[in-house]
């Protein structure tokens, strides 16, 4: 009888412990259930931040491509006066670019599908800037035409690499908008080049102006290496 009384007296404590256990288990389950949500939010935030950095770098790089591909166009009047080239000579040099550029876009489009698009995008700009540096040190018509054709080849790397990065980082539902935003980078680059290249040529001569612009492009290209990524991690 006494043992039954003791067991009956212990029942409230047992029930209380059971309720506490169930409550603690509920809290632990709630906490564990909230962790995946917090983790997903952190991952989404990290993805959006990385995507913004990649897109900003792509925008800057393509604007720099636009500057690097218009150097001869805006330097041509000063170059013609300095080297005594005729209009026919300038036309020969200028015609090298679109031929090389068009062929390069097809070849690099095939190449970029099998290599890192970020590496192709940055490497093409670096090589384009180096070609402009070599062009700044040239006086021979044929060498200038050769370097300008090489510039067209390296410029062709931008289109395919940018297209692949855009399709990787943006879904089909948002790709059209961001593609349109990215396409304005060529307009921004064209505006900057029209103002800066002619000013540089007027202040420093066409050679030093071309050197300064090319070095600036090189520095920006190397800075973008750290912020580029081929795909989300």
Q: pLDDT at position 41, please?
A: 82
Helix axes 71-83, 141-155, angle to 10 degrees: 180
Residues in contact with 167: Cβ distance below 8 Å, sequence separation at least 6, in sequence order? 175
DSSP string spanning 91-115?
Answer: HHHHHHHHHHHHHHHHHHHHHHTTS
Which spans in 137-156 are helix H? 141-155
Closest CA to 228 of 48, 19, 52: 52
Q: pLDDT at position 152, please?
A: 95
- 185, 220 Cβ separation under 8 angstroms: no
pLDDT along the chain (233 residues), means of 10: 45 48 46 65 85 94 95 89 91 93 87 88 95 93 95 92 92 90 93 86 88 94 90 79
Q: pLDDT at position 30, please?
A: 46
Domains, in order of start, for the chain: 48-227 (1.20.1250.20)
Closest CA to 168 of 105, 121, 230: 230
Q: pLDDT at position 47, please?
A: 84
Q: pLDDT at position 13, please?
A: 52
| Number of CB atoms found within 10 A of residue 77's CB | 13
């Amino acid at each position: 009888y006494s043992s039954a009384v003791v067991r009956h007296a212990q029942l409230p404590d047992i029930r209380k412990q059971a309720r506490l256990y169930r409550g603690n288990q509920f809290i632990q389950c709630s906490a564990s259930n909230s962790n995946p949500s917090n983790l997903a939010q952190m991952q989404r935030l990290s993805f959006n931040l990385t995507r913004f950095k990649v897109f900003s770098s792509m925008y800057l790089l393509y604007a720099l491509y636009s500057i690097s591909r218009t150097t001869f166009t805006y330097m041509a009047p000063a170059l013609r006066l300095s080297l005594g080239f005729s209009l026919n000579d300038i036309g020969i040099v200028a015609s090298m670019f679109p031929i090389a550029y068009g062929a390069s876009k097809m070849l690099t489009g095939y190449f970029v599908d099998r290599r890192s698009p970020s590496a192709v995008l940055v490497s093409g700009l670096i090589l384009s800037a180096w070609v402009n540096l070599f062009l700044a040190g040239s006086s021979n018509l044929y060498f200038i035409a050769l370097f300008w054709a090489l510039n067209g080849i390296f410029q062709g790397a931008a289109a395919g690499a940018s297209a692949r990065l855009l399709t990787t980082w943006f879904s089909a539902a948002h790709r059209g908008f961001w593609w349109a935003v990215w396409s304005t980078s060529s307009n921004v680059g064209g505006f900057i080049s029209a103002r800066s290249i002619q000013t540089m040529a007027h202040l420093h001569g066409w050679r030093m102006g071309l050197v300064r612009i090319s070095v600036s492009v090189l520095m920006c290209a190397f800075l973008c290496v750290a912020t580029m990524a081929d795909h989300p991690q």
